[in-house]
Amino acid sequence: MSEISYFGLPAILMPYPFAADNHQSLNAAIFSRNSAAEVLEGAEANGEKLGHLIDELLSDLKRRRLMAESMRSMAITDAAEKIAELLEAQAG
């Protein structure tokens, strides 16, 4: 998700239902709430629903641009620096 948000790519997320502690669904929900991605889970994650959603997005440039902008706003561009600061503080 870091790369997708960094590049501001609108996304359709299909979380793996058996991921540890449901972390993929939880992460997807954050992006969905921020209008950066659409999420298909469980029974709705089928080819028909996915195809319909792709068609919707391809025909709506304004929506894709909003998703891209929202996705880009979620990027943490200084993650390496933040991690280094935390490590230095702990070593400190």
For the chain, how many structural domains are there in total? 1
Residue 82: Cβ within 10 Å count:
10
Q: What is the mean pLDDT of residues 3-8?
A: 95
Rounded mean pLDDT of the chain? 94
Kindly report the CATH number assigned to the domain that includes residue 63: 3.40.50.2000
Question: CA 28, CA 41: separation in Å to the nearest integer?
Answer: 10
Element at 21 (helix H, strand E): none
pLDDT tens figures, 37-69: 999 998 888 999 999 999 999 999 999 999 999
Strands (E) located in the chain: 11-13, 37-39
Q: Encode burial over 37-75: b for 16+ CB neighbours within 10 A, e otherwise.
A: bbbbeeeeeeeeeeeeeeeebeeeeeeeeebbebbbebb
pTM of the model: 0.82
Domain that holds residue 85: 2-91
